[in-house]
Amino acid sequence: MEAQASTPSAPLWNGVWIAIPAYNEEGTIRELSHAALALCPRVMVIDDGSTDSTAGQVRDLPIALIRHPVNLGKGASLMSAFRHALASDAGCVITLDGDGQHDPKDLPRLLSAWRDQQDRVVIGSRLHDRSQFPRARYRANRFACFWISWAAGHPIADSQSGLRVYPSEVMRIAASGLVRSGRFTFESEILIEAADHGHLTLARAIPGRYPSNARRSHFRPVVDIASIVVMVGLRLLKKGMYPRGLWRSLRAAPVLSAESEAQFDSRAS
């Protein structure tokens, strides 16, 4: 299943996989995969039962192509990515969405931040860039951030961003069966479960992007946020509503900005 790119990997990328969950992404997946391969030779695309030519767009590229026979949701795609990476003794996986809203050029900076704090889940945070956010999605994201931060016991800058660095320890937590949610709720529950095991989040500011050639988002603000709130509510009930977590979560979430960009760029070279 694994195929290696010919470009040598910089030390920053040692033991790293880039994972791209994809469902009907024929318009963006090839260009995105090329950009990922230019950074790292270990790239996987998880085709989650696409009904278009997503798989055909990348079949000839030196990547690991993992295919689900039917659409199982983003949570299942991420679990497939984690299992593949853990089987390859990866130190971490960087995930980015297949619709092109994440710029692969941001990956070295997230990875550099993780190299400095390898117990953290590093998140590419877009919420500071409010002008680029559709209003309904911005409000839904802020609402979800409040609940998830409460249950996780610390402020999370952008709980719905799919651009993340997952350490191997957090992947093992998910693979152990402690994260039971599927689809988009998976990405929220894993932050809570990781925090319960001492793995907090670290945010790195990234621009908000909505490419013109990207398909309409699969995220349903009302339905998916409702599922997230139900999951969080059940976890809070098990924790006795976790008043200490609420108090801790009300602080402003620290977000790394571009002021240390020169340092990141030097490490990525």
Q: How far apart are CA 215 and CA 121, in angstroms?
A: 28
Kind and range of the H or E element at 93?
A: strand 92-95
Q: What is the dihedral of CA 44, 57, 213, 43, to 10 degrees?
A: 10
pLDDT at 106: 95
pLDDT at 69: 97
pLDDT at 224: 76
Mean pLDDT by 10 residues, the chain (269 residues): 49 96 96 97 98 98 98 96 98 95 94 97 82 72 92 95 97 95 90 98 85 59 81 96 97 78 49
Is 14-268 CATH 3.60.10.10? no
Q: Record the tokens describing residue 16, joined without a space.
A: 């790293």
What is the number of residues in the chain? Answer: 269
Q: How far apart are CA 97 and CA 29, in angstroms?
A: 9
Question: Helices in the chain by DSSP H: which ranges?
Answer: 29-37, 54-58, 74-87, 107-116, 135-152, 168-173, 185-196, 221-238, 243-249, 261-268
Are 165 and 122 contacting, i.e. CB atoms less than 8 angstroms apart?
yes
